[in-house]
Amino acid sequence: MSEEVGEMPLANDVASMVRRYLPQFPDLETDEEMVFTWEITDWHSLPERALSPVFEAGGFRWRLLLFPEGNGSSCRGRISLYLQIQDQNESPETPLPKSDEPGSDDKQLPAASRWHVCCQFALAVWNPQHPDAYICQMAHHRYNPRTMDWGYSHMCEVRSALTRGTRPAALIEKNKVNITAFLRTIKDPTGILWHDFVDYDSRLETGYTGLTNQGATCYLNSLLQSLYFTRVFRRAVYEIPAGDSESVTSGLQRLFYLLATSPTPVNTNSLTRSFGWDTADAFTQHDVQELNRVLMDRLESKMNGTSVEGVLTKIFVGQMKSFIKCINVDFESARVEDFWDIQLNVKNMKDIYASFRDYVQTEVLEGENQYHATGYGLQDANKGVIFESFPPVLHLQLKRYEYDFLRDVEVKINDRFEFPLDLDLQQFLDPESDAVKEAAAKGEPWEYALHGVLVHSGDLNAGHYYTLLKPEANGDWFRFDDDRVTRASLKEVLDDNFGGELPNSRGIKRITSAYMLVYIRKSRLEFVLPSSEDKWPSALPESIAAEKREEEQRRREIQEQRQYMAIRLLSRRQFAKHSGVGLATWTARHSSEVDASMPELLKVRRNLKIGQLYAAVAEHCGFDFIPSLWLVSPREYSVKRIHMLEPQHNEHTVEELSSWSDGPYPVLWVQESPGYLEDEVLVFVKEFNVSALKLTGVSTVWINKKQPLSAALAQFSNPGTRFYHERESMVEEMSPSALVGEQLVTGDIIVLETNLDKDALYPSACEFYDFLNHRVTLLLLPRPDVEESDGDEEPERVPSPEKVTPVVLITSSKEPYSQLAERAADALGGDIDPTHLQLWPAPYEWEPLREPLRNDGSNMDDLMLVDSPLYVYYRVLDRPLAEFEQMIEVPTTWVQDYRSEPQTLQVLVSTNATVSELIRELASQLSLPAEDVPRVKMWTARHNRTVRTWTPAMQVKEVLMHEGNYASLMSQEELNLRSAAAGIAPLEQRLVTVFHFQKDDFRTHSIPFTFVLHENEPFSVTRKRIQQELGLGDKSFEKIRIAVCGSPSRVRYLEDDNEQLFESMGDDDAIGLDHADKRRVVHQQQAIVIK
């Protein structure tokens, strides 16, 4: 940035210049300020590269580096000016390094040099007689042994400096000019201010090492670092019997050992393999809290029966009590539960204390909402939760996400939410609990120290996790960001992760905020962070050393392989098997017969001379003679033809062949017949047998240029043979009497047309080549049954075609559908009516099932030109395709009951059908008794919640969705209620929807259903009927918490057995069943599984 004349300070007014050109950086502390002026009294006598006298600032030696005519040709005619520092590993007497281009040669300085200084500076070029004539530019830089000079290559034009222009005077006047450097050195407490992180070594700089990111495993890395520095947990992991080397325990032990000893970032591949994860899992980001819970469950099962059984509970588990306590009588209903972590609300909460107060806030049950206390009847009561104890290591998850019903998506809450370094939780504990009394007796307060902050930056769809940790109780904070570890300031730990608005941003909120907090109880610091050394399993170091030796061996083998390269050999064996255009098949085909026409691979050393290659090829081919070699390379129009390798090529290496050829591997034609005369050409001969519709390679032959074509190829032809010249992807008929030399050159292809048959499908070579240009290989597979998804679940993938043996059909993309169907029916065999055959292009792995091909008379070009061979699904219909295309398929999930696996059906009805007609067709497919047909109900669910109930008169095309269409039998009372809604009976009941969720009401799962509420029915009876509807036993049903759910995200759990839902539920409310999703599916995100 530059400033010239105007309302500006004078160049010799130091205080004003500093205020103007060295503005203070927020949150950065000044170390020292310095001003140095270089007085130049003879500008024109300056050398091409001039250095100022040395001056000191901030304990470092500095000087100005000036190029009066520009630094290099690109800057010619401009003044180049830099601020340069001396390497602190050199003595003051050592000259500063010379460089024609600052910032380049100095990279060769010793890597061991670790000094650096952060400097903010401004450089001013000014007229000593007219200090109001100047130009000033400012910058800041981190100086170190790699970059010891920084400044401006284009400070200003020399011509402009020598003339007055719009300034009061020229910058350089009477051959004199002053150059002033205004410096401010900045303190760098974290050691990374303005760091470019080139060659940054985390272990060397911090004593700790990071974890590499496999793709989207930053969330995993953050949690693993947090667990690693929970030292009591780390030691417990070391004491678990490892067992199988591929187990989760072994993977975690190995990872922790490497974090303690490795000088470089540690790879997590071994650990995720022990989880049973594949590459897709490595590129799927998950929730940190969920991962922590799943990992703890897995480790806890591994610890059972060992010396560390129950250790995880001692470290991470606290207890809370849910209660309803009557106000006027001595009655309390309470249930004590363990917790591994606490989820705290962020929205509308100022800080962590406000969120805890919200968590334990009591609700007064009074009036119509009174609690029915056993033996006391309806009573006013307080309902809430209170903590019985907190664990030594407390994990707090901040609820930074909520479901936005208006946008139908999860969104991040970026509100400001403060948390302290020290946390006193005494006020949130039950003073009557045993743990609280025991702690009071020992004089142990419930005070906690912040140990870790897991941070999420970004939004839900594109975010990044990292963690800030304090490894030692009285140590510094560090930022663990995948493979990089850096020191962190308290501002980075606290203020930067509170969320809320950015400073001076006019309402723009930060996208970086704390997501999970780790606190350690102060009285248990020695238990959680013991000072004694770790004792890892004795076999672990040798096991990892053996892995490193194996890895080094593999690396050497790979290095050895790099000394070799592949070439492809083409000979008459491949040519004879080729049935298409050109010399051979260059890309893989499906059938083995076609594959036989592909060139063979031969690996040779890259530095092998071409003169030595002949013998290597002869040995590979099993020849007892040395063949001639011809390079296959493009001629015109990318047609591949041969060019002979001459003796002068013998001293070139095989690697050089790659630059002469087309593609990554050189292709050589191996010519077995010797000889090469100037009056001969080498041509390739093919035969097209018309009656057999077969094109094959015959041979190569040397023919005389002066002979007629018929005479030159007499050995391959007869009087009726037609001759064609293959050009690019077509053929042209040739005159048999034309001289060879007038039409052909070496490498050309001649096609002989034999066994003429005017009734053949392709009666001439020209027509057959047209077919070849549009030929495709179809691999026919029966269409699999596609499972439609429930709500947000991904549909089940169609089976891989490679698992089923396909039927091969070779056809032309120019064929209309009707002809393609006939040929497909013939290939499939059996008694298949081609008019009943429906075909689909098979999807790629990431695609849903494509639309079927239409029987509209068009050809298949759009389909066929994409890929060949092309997998195609087929299905034999029970009616002609033309009739079928006038109908619609309704994917419907039939729910027999909620204990049985649902059945997905494709119900076919006319495009104008009503729901009533659809139900009759569905009943027919299910073979339902006639009396059950009126009881069939249909509805649509989205995100596993009912969004629409179908009525018999509706048009199917108006309500149909591609997924989420359900049907089942109504209960008799629901049937009666629907009849009542039509005015047939009195209304004493109401219909509500019921859905399933896990913890948060937006994390829905399973199939929703409808349920009839009875007037004046207490909740205790309603709950029993819901249990009967689900068909669950008492033990399974007691794990389900029932809630009334409104919109948006309003969840009220039901505790009062006397509450009447018929009266208390609003029109838009639904009943929610909170329980674990046994299918392990979370809304919009596949759940984490550790095997």
C-alpha distance from residue 963 to each of 344, 406, 627, 892 (Å): 35, 21, 65, 8
pLDDT digits (tens, 9 = 90+) for 579-617: 888 888 887 655 444 478 889 999 999 999 999 999 999
Structural domains in the chain?
A: 2-186 (2.60.210.10), 202-313+535-553 (3.90.70.10), 318-528 (3.90.70.10), 563-671 (3.10.20.90), 680-773 (3.10.20.90), 775-884 (3.10.20.90), 889-1086 (3.10.20.90)
* 881 in Cβ contact with 855 (< 8 Å): yes
| Long-range contact set of residues 379-382: C-beta below 8 Å, sequence gap at least 24 | 379/326, 379/327, 379/328, 379/329, 379/331, 380/326, 380/327, 380/328, 381/324, 381/325, 381/326, 381/327, 382/323, 382/324, 382/325, 382/327
* 994 in Cβ contact with 1012 (< 8 Å): no
Tell me whether residue 464 is one of the annotated catalytic residues: yes
118 pLDDT above the threshold of 80: yes
pLDDT digits (tens, 9 = 90+) for 326-358: 999 999 888 899 999 999 999 999 999 999 999
Question: Looking at residue 575, what is its pLDDT?
Answer: 92
> Helices 248-261 and 218-228 sit at what angle, rounded to 10 degrees?
80
Average pLDDT over residues 279-287: 78
Question: Looking at residue 785, what is its pLDDT?
Answer: 63
Return the closest-CA partner of residue 69 out of 172, 195, 174.
172
Q: Strands of 241-380 (E only): list them.
A: 318-326, 332-339, 342-345, 363-365, 371-373, 377-379
Cα gap 472→161, rounded to integer Å:
58
pLDDT digits (tens, 9 = 90+) for 477-509: 999 999 999 999 999 999 999 998 887 767 788
Query: Which residues is 84 bridged to in the sheet?
Result: 63, 149
CB neighbours of residue 749 within 10 Å = 22
| Residue of 130, 395, 456, 464 marked active site | 464
Q: Which residue has the higher pLDDT, 209 or 1075?
A: 209
Q: Which residue has the higher pLDDT, 692 or 678?
A: 692
The residue with tokens 């050199």 is 90
In this structure, what are the phi and psi dihedrals at residue 137, rounded to the nearest 5 degrees? -130, 145
Question: Looking at residue 96, what is its pLDDT?
Answer: 43
Q: Tokens representing 676? A: 């090469």
Cα gap 223→642, rounded to integer Å:
61
Q: Which residue has the higher pLDDT, 343 or 870?
A: 343
pLDDT digits (tens, 9 = 90+) for 538-557: 888 998 898 889 989 999 98
Q: Which residue type sits at 456?
A: H
| Residue of 118, 136, 156, 218 marked active site | 218
Count of residues for the chain?
1091
Average pLDDT over residues 355-378: 89
Instruction: Give the DSSP H or E segment for 921.
Output: helix 915-926
Dihedral sign of CA atoms 192, 198, 201, 204 in order? negative
Confidence of residue 6 (pLDDT cuts 50, 70, 90): very low
The residue with tokens 């400033």 is 3
272 pLDDT above the threshold of 60: yes
792 pLDDT above the threshold of 50: no
The residue with tokens 């053929």 is 731
Question: Looking at residue 848, what is its pLDDT?
Answer: 58
- The verdict on pTM exceeding 0.75 is no
Question: Looking at residue 799, what is its pLDDT?
Answer: 47
Q: Comparing 116-120, 148-152, 317-321, 998-1002, which segment has the lowest mean pLDDT?
A: 998-1002
Residue 677, burial from CB neighbour count under 10 angstroms (0-12, 13-18, 19+) = exposed
| Long-range contact set of residues 101-108: C-beta below 8 Å, sequence gap at least 24 | 101/71, 101/72, 102/65, 102/71, 102/149, 102/150, 102/151, 103/147, 103/149, 103/150, 106/145, 106/146, 106/147, 106/148, 106/149, 107/146, 107/147
Q: Tokens representing 583? A: 């010399």
Cα gap 62→181, rounded to integer Å:
10
Tell me whether residue 140 is one of the annotated catalytic residues: no
Residue 759, burial from CB neighbour count under 10 angstroms (0-12, 13-18, 19+) = exposed
